[in-house]
Amino acid sequence: MRVAFVSFDFGEYSIRLAGGMARYADVRLFLPMSEAGPHKNLLPEAVGLEEFEKPRLRQLLSQKRMAQNLLRRIKRFNPDVIHLQQGHLWFNFVLPLLGHYPLVVTSHDPVTHAGEKTPQWIFDWGCYRANQIIVHAPQMKDLLVNRLRLRENRVHIVTHVLCGNDSAQTDVQEDEHLVLFFGRISKYKGLEYLIRAEPLISAMAPQARFVIAGVGEDIEPYRRMMTNPERFTILDEYISDERRAELFRQASVVVLPYVEATQSGVIPVAYSFGKPVVATTVGGLPSQVDHGETGFLVAPRDPDALAMATVELLRNRDLRRRFGANGKQKLTVEANPDTVARETSKVYHLALNAATQS
């Protein structure tokens, strides 16, 4: 089977999954240079990589040229199946021009988050065009099926592939007092609730410190919320794989105070480094976190509950170790690239069959 794997974001995810798929198919990965660059070393030689420039969304002429160029390159490859990750504001408009090729869409975010520049209907259009759809959690399947009135047998749950790894050698040691918030800064990530929880955490765990790492919206309003800004280290910058490894190795607890979510790529990274997580009961996060086994789940927008769960882990080294080991085991069983690729290949065959019968 020849698979055109097309993605405009999700660089590490795409490379790891395409690499896993190489055992089951002839894979051609179409990925922006900016997304491919940091992770090329992860891509096996069996996967053909076709990089392209991804213009800014408001560069209309460049966007048109990009979409047309991708269309030509995909047709030249002549795949049996096209697998599109989430979609793209301008590329989704040319989906009808792909003609007879069966289409699989992975809906990483069935509902766009606050601040998303691409209108919801663009992503919905891609789902309607798809022969089969992949999501990462049961909650996301229910949401997509009910909102778009899709047939349940068109939507399939496939676990988010493992990103990040703890194989690199480094002298960085765990700091038993360090709490990590990692990822793109966006309103839906609920960073303000971690900041509100800090005084209570610090009162119960006086040596606690906090690292906020990732780019996104303006960090200054968050700085102004801080009661004790000296306890926070803010890395408002692109985080390389090497720096990410250092941060997760150093962290004692990884906190995701999200107020809305579909799934999280941060949780598998935390597990890969053997770190427990504190996350909220929104979207698909409860399917990623086994409460009381790999971490704790708390209600969103509840700084007190967030603080209590975080402190329980900060105070209990043995509990952290047990949760971290359970998280690693969960990844080994559910999220390794070979397992995810095998489940994804089943969806490809369903797309082929659906296209043949239509």
Q: Helix and strand tally (H, E) in the chain?
A: 13, 13
Look at 42-51, 108-117, 238-247 and tell me which has the smallest mean pLDDT. Answer: 108-117
Q: How confident is the model at residue 167 (pLDDT cuts 50, 70, 90)?
A: low
Q: Kindly compute the dihedral angle of the four CA atoms of residues 284, 258, 254, 336, in this order, to the nearest 10 degrees.
A: 20
Instruction: Extract the runs of DSSP E, i.e. beta strands, from the chain.
Output: 2-7, 26-32, 48-52, 81-85, 103-106, 132-135, 155-157, 178-182, 209-213, 232-235, 253-256, 277-280, 295-298
- The Cα–Cα gap between 162 and 165 comes to 8
Q: Which amino acid type is present at position 246?
A: E
DSSP-assigned letter for residue 282: S
- Answer yes or no: is pLDDT of 358 > 80: no
* pLDDT tens per residue, range 168-184: 445 678 999 999 999 98
Structural domains present in the chain: 2-161+336-357 (3.40.50.2000), 178-334 (3.40.50.2000)
Of 276, 280, 282, 278, residue with least CA distance to 302 = 280
The predicted structure's pLDDT at residue 208: 98
Comparison of pLDDT for 236 and 332, the residue scoring more: 236
Residues in the chain: 358
The predicted structure's pLDDT at residue 265: 85
Q: What is the mean pLDDT of residues 142-167?
A: 88
Neighbouring residues of 121: CB distance < 8 A, sequence distance ≥ 6: none
pTM: 0.81
- The Cα–Cα gap between 82 and 101 comes to 7
The predicted structure's pLDDT at residue 21: 96
- Answer yes or no: is pLDDT of 20 > 60: yes
Q: Kindly compute the dihedral angle of the four CA atoms of residues 64, 69, 72, 78, in this order, to the nearest 10 degrees.
A: -110
The alpha-carbon radius of gyration of the chain (Å, integer) is 21
- Answer yes or no: is pLDDT of 153 > 60: yes
Q: How confident is the model at residue 332 (pLDDT cuts 50, 70, 90)?
A: confident
- The upper half-sphere exposure of residue 344, i.e. CA atoms within 13 Å in the direction of its Cβ, equals 37
Render 23-55 in DSSP notation, one character per residue.
TTSEEEEEEEHHHHGGGGGGS-TTSEEEEE---
- The Cα–Cα gap between 209 and 202 comes to 8
Q: How confident is the model at residue 90 (pLDDT cuts 50, 70, 90)?
A: confident
